[in-house]
Structure 1
Amino acid sequence: MTHHALLLSAPGPKTNWAGMPTYNTIIAVTAGAGLLLVVALGYQLLKPGRTITPDGWALAFGAIGFVLVVAGLHMVLTWPLAGGGFPQNNIAFGEPAVLFGVLLLAAALYLWKRGADINSANRVVHTARVTAPVSLLVFGVGLACLGIAAAGWKYTLFAAPPQEPVAGKFARWPWLETSFVSAAYLLVGVGAVLFPFMLRRPRGRAAQVIGVAWGLSGLAFFLFGALAYFTHIGLIMNTK
């Protein structure tokens, strides 16, 4: 059982939630949506003759990127979860959120300013060339996500306390939720690490692996975050 679970499993637990703002609900939903949209845009780019409306994608990426950067930066700069006994979650959720958010904002800016390029005859090759420099950062994000996944499994970081509705039912098996969240990070990491190599052959097998990895992880984070709106509110009500 993690320090988080131990903290909240004592008789009559009380938690200072006012001094410990938590953003992994909105971060999970928006990050999941962002991953799913990246996969969807990549699929459309690779479909010959498919017309893409860049303004719509710019709006979507910009909105998601803004939320991730704002919420993630607050976690990175203030470490709000440190006071509750699990500062590691500031790293595990806040820093990837900032990195992914910045990447989405960059994509939104490009689509807004140069969106017509993604409907050109050689759009796949052109997009690969434009994306090549930033792929180094994507690769680094992938390595970070692999590290978070490994730390999650080793230290059982993401186990829910027994006071949390739904997930708390499995508190006696802390590896269960830990494995779910760590597996999602693992899939994000695998896709991101493959990303620079995929740009050499955008229609190759690596693109398919990335699509599956980011699609599954995006769906996992999206649904996990949506469910967390209920479970985290319930946790607060049970421990305030």
Structure 2
Amino acid sequence: MVINWGATAVYNTIMSVSVGVALLSIVNFFSHLNSNKIGHIEGWAIGFGIPGFILTLTGLHMTLTWPLSKMGFAFDDIIFGESSLAFGVLLLAITVLLWRKANLYLKQGIDMNDTTVVSEKLKKELPSLLKPLSFFAAAMGFALIAMGCAGVTFRLFAAPPQEPISGLFAAYPMIEATFMSILLALTGVGAILFAVNQKEKPNLGLVKFNRSAWVITGIIWTAFGIMNYFTHIGLIVHTMK
């Protein structure tokens, strides 16, 4: 197997890490918020903005140019490109909302170092702020579940044998198809629950399940992306002209 790497691109490494870090950041943000230790909102805004920018940029490029189709994996351009673009734009929207809210609090004379006051105000205002965004998040959550179903149905995501580690399962495509499909679907379930939970008094059971879903998927996406920095470099070495 020889691939003309000059005619294509593979960057779902940084996309995977960005998705994982963003999911864990959201969980961490609400954990700090609920314990009245939110800290400076601007820092959280930038924390969401960094992966948001990366996912918007790479997701947009993958969505519009389909670089993985040149390797025979056109479906990955839809699955990873469009979902990353959607998540990236949502993260950037949250970045803008939090940044503007921080500026508004400053104009109102609120001491931003008083984490209890800031946290209590945010807890009251965030559901109404995030509710409009949550509709799109829920729709993409169902889309992720559909992608997971497609992954199992059509046995997608199997790595070529030339790829280190993941390539060991090339002869057993259902292993990686099942793993990635469950990961996508569970991330999607979290997105749907996130939308459901945007109200003044959400169901605590759903909130806990939402948190658990994104902690699990956030860790896996981050670890998977980090591992792929090794495996994808190995694939390039083994398949370049």
TM-score, normalised on structure 1? Answer: 0.90
Supply the distance in 2 between the matched residues of 1:197 and 1:26 (Cα, whole angstroms): 29
Residue 55 in structure 1 maps to residue 42 in structure 2: yes
- Counterpart of 2:227? 227
Supply the distance in 2 between the matched residues of 1:170 and 1:196 (Cα, whole angstroms): 36
RMSD of aligned Cα (Å):
1.5
Q: Equivalent pairs: percent with the same residue?
A: 39
Q: In the alignment, which of 7, 31, 34 is matched to residue 43 of structure 1?
A: 31
Supply the distance in 1 between the matched residues of 2:30 and 2:177 (Cα, whole angstroms): 30
Q: In the alignment, which of 59, 76, 84 is matched to residue 72 of structure 1?
A: 59
Q: Which amino acid aligns with 1:70?
A: L
Q: In the alignment, which of 111, 115, 118 is matched to residue 98 of structure 2?
A: 111
Supply the distance in 2 between the matched residues of 1:120 and 1:213 (Cα, whole angstroms): 24
What is the number of residues matched between the two proteins?
227
Q: Which amino acid aligns with 1:103?
A: L
Counterparts in 2 of 1:43 and 1:203: CA distance versus 1, 3 Å: farther
Q: Is the 8 A contact 1:128 1:202 kept in 2?
A: no
- Counterpart of 2:113? none
- Counterpart of 2:22? 34
- Counterpart of 2:78? 91
- Counterpart of 1:121? 120
Please, which runs of 5 or more residues in structure 1 have no aligned partner? 1-12
Supply the distance in 1 between the matched residues of 2:140 and 2:122 (Cα, whole angstroms): 25
- Counterpart of 1:130? 129
Supply the distance in 2 between the matched residues of 1:211 and 1:236 (Cα, whole angstroms): 36
Task: Please give the per-residue CA displacement for 1:159-197, whole angstroms capped at 9, x wherever unaligned.
Answer: 111111011112121111222211111111111112222
Residue 191 in structure 1 maps to residue 190 in structure 2: yes
Deviation at 1:203, TM superposition (A): 5.8
- Counterpart of 1:178? 177
Supply the distance in 1 between the matched residues of 2:192 and 2:119 (Cα, whole angstroms): 28
- Counterpart of 2:68? 81
Please, which runs of 5 or more residues in structure 2 have no aligned partner? 111-116
Q: Structure 1 stretches (4+) deviating beyond 6 angstroms?
A: none
Counterpart mapping for 1:199-218 below 5 A = 199-200=198-199, 201-202=201-202, 204-218=204-218
TM-score, normalised on structure 2? Answer: 0.90
Q: Name whichever of 198-207 and 171-180 sits farther off.
A: 198-207
